[in-house]
């Protein structure tokens, strides 16, 4: 069979698998049959891209801490960079929509980055404790609501822990 015809068949099988026209087992069998056991190059490239992107996403939180607390960059540049990191994590949510674990990691990273951004913005605006408490409480309530609606219990736990830490902070002050 010529190469062009094989490529067309492989693309069709990928389409069937993606749109669930055939069961995944059948598509895997047909893919192995027509690729002779090897993965198509574009699937390998896609896997490598996703792995690199996942590693980058996991490094966003430590990089954010480094940028905000250990560099002497202008505050505007820091905020721009953290906002860009939040944007990258939002894109990551859509890139990994089919992989449950990586999707949850992107949600967690996005929540942490938004919390860091909120705290830094409140610090820049010199908003004192009652305002900070209100903004972080609203953010924790949003986490709790999203966690409840999507049944993502880790967001519920994070919201509860955030509220507990805020109450402890108020009591200590």
Number of domains making up the chain: 3
State pTM to two decimals.
Answer: 0.70
Contacts for 64 with CB less than 8 Å, ≥ 6 apart: 81, 82, 85, 113, 116
Average pLDDT, the chain: 84
- Pair (84, 100) in one structural domain: yes
Whether 25 and 60 map to the same domain: the answer is: no
Residues 136, 109 share a domain: no
pLDDT in tens, 16-45: 888 888 888 888 888 878 777 666 666 666
Question: At 22, which helix (H) or strand (E)?
Answer: none
Q: Can you give the residue range of the structural domain that contains 22?
A: 3-35
- 98 and 52 in a common domain: yes
């Amino acid at each position: 069979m010529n190469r062009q015809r094989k490529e067309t068949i492989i693309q069709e099988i990928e389409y069937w698998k993606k749109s669930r026209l055939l069961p995944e087992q059948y598509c895997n069998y047909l893919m192995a049959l027509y690729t002779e056991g090897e993965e198509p190059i574009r699937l390998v490239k896609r896997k490598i891209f996703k792995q690199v992107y996942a590693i980058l996403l996991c490094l966003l939180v430590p990089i954010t801490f480094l940028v905000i607390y250990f560099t002497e960059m202008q505050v505007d540049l820091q905020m721009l960079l953290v906002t860009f990191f939040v944007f990258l994590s939002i894109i990551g949510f859509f890139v990994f929509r089919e992989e449950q674990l990586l999707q949850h990691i992107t949600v967690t990273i996005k929540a942490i980055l938004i919390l860091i951004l909120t705290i830094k913005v409140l610090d820049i605006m010199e908003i004192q404790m009652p305002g900070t408490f209100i903004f972080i409480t609203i953010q924790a309530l949003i986490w709790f609501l999203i966690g409840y609606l999507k049944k993502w219990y880790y967001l519920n736990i994070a919201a509860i822990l955030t509220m507990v830490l805020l109450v402890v902070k108020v009591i200590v002050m």
